[in-house]
Amino acid sequence: MSQRELAIRAEGLVKHFKDVKAVDGVDLEVPAGTVYGVLGPNGAGKTTTVRMLATLLRPDAGSATVFGRDLIADAASVRSQVSLTGQYASLDEDLTGIENLVLLSRLYGYGKPAARERAADLLEAFGLTAAAGKQVKAYSGGMRRRLDIAASIIVTPKLLFLDEPTTGLDPRSRNQVWDVVRTIVGEGTTVLLTTQYLEEADQLASRIAVIDTGRVIAEGTPGQLKSSVGAGSIRVRLHHADQRDHARQILVEALAGEVELDDDPVALTARLAPGQDTAVQGSHALGELARGGVLVDDFSLGQPSLDEVFLALTNKVDA
């Protein structure tokens, strides 16, 4: 990594809850001005890590700095640089959208007229003007997320934590959130984003740390991570179940790899070897199937799933 300014430097962060080691020695180096993805399954320690870095939890051991300020000794100064959008909307559900934003604007130090203006402006930018006077408990998941992110940029933070910003959202709302994240980072804010979805980290993050059972088990660019895990897969659904053995034969020859029969009697999955180009191999396989007279209903190329990333990475750790 080049000698760029670091937004976060964390060393050996540890947090235990009773007997559970939620975070068990996490090191992170987050370059300023980028989206950094923290990827991991539920219970991996993502949220606990974020809560420590946002000054909500005191680490049991380890140290961290946010833009050079010490997380523990200088917590107040860290707070003036960061914003947090938690996993569950950090809003007051009894209040309306505009009341939430006015309240927070006032807490950031805006005077009353300026707070109202800023709140109305943010609602408009996030397409929430029509819902401004509704209580937040009546908001949909996507609207809540947008309001939550709006609340996080009342004052443009140097570092924004987004804890699973798209979990539970429909695809359209998810795309909106991605759009917002790209715009925010485009204006110079560093974003630390936790997610369970490889695709999301892939879409947004320039570097990713994979966390499992409280430890970072891999770190790198999305490309590095994927190639370390292996290539993707090709999934085929046939028109006739009785052509499956024939199709399998063709795929084994075309791809020189493993081909599994799925539980679904018309489906089979071919795993590509590391280094193989998914698109090239895919079109080759499809051509061979057509030439062999196999009727294909559905044909899809897949990236390695998060499951596969984890299996591969955790096996490596155990070995």
Partner 1 sequence: MTVTQTTTKSDADAPAPVERDHLRRLLATGERPAAPSAFASARAFAWRSMLKIKHVPEQLFDILLFPIMMLLMFTYLFGGAIAGGTGDYLQFLLPGIMVMSIVMTTMYTGMSVNIDINKGVSDRFRTLPIWRAAPMVGYLLADVFRYAAAGAVMFGTGMVMGYRPEGGAAGVLLGVGLLLVFCFAFSWLWTWLGLITRSEKTVMSISMSIMFPLTFLSNIMVDPSTMPGWLQPVVKNTPISQLVDGVRGLFDGNVDSASVATTLIWSAGFIAVFGFLTIRAYNRK
Binding site for partner 1 (CB under 8 A): 51, 54-56, 58, 76, 79-80, 82-84, 86-95, 99, 103-104, 106-111, 114, 121-122, 124-128, 135, 146, 151, 153-156, 172, 176, 179-180, 183-184, 186-187, 189
Task: Strand 69-70: give its sheet, edge to edge.
Answer: 20-31, 6-17, 61-66, 69-70
Cβ proximity to partner 1, 112 vs 240, nearer residue: 112
Distance, in Å, from the CA atom of 40 to the CA atom of 58, rounded to the nearest integer, reads 22
Spatial contact of 249 and 255, defined as CB atoms under 8 Å apart: no
Cβ proximity to partner 1, 60 vs 288, nearer residue: 60
Least CB distance from residue 247 to partner 1, whole Å? 39
Q: Can you read off the two tokens belonging to residue 37?
A: 């993805």
Residue 66's H or E segment, with its range, is strand 61-66
Cβ proximity to partner 1, 19 vs 172, nearer residue: 172
Least CB distance from residue 50 to partner 1, whole Å? 10
Cβ proximity to partner 1, 88 vs 293, nearer residue: 88
Least CB distance from residue 78 to partner 1, whole Å? 9
Cβ proximity to partner 1, 114 vs 279, nearer residue: 114
Q: Percent helix, strand, coil in the chain (nearest 5)?
A: 40, 30, 30
Least CB distance from residue 200 to partner 1, whole Å? 17
Cβ neighbours around 285 below 10 Å, total: 25
- Show Cβ contacts of residue 179 under 8 Å, excluding neighbours closer than 6 positions: none
Instruction: Return the DSSP state at 314.
Output: H
Least CB distance from residue 176 to partner 1, whole Å? 5
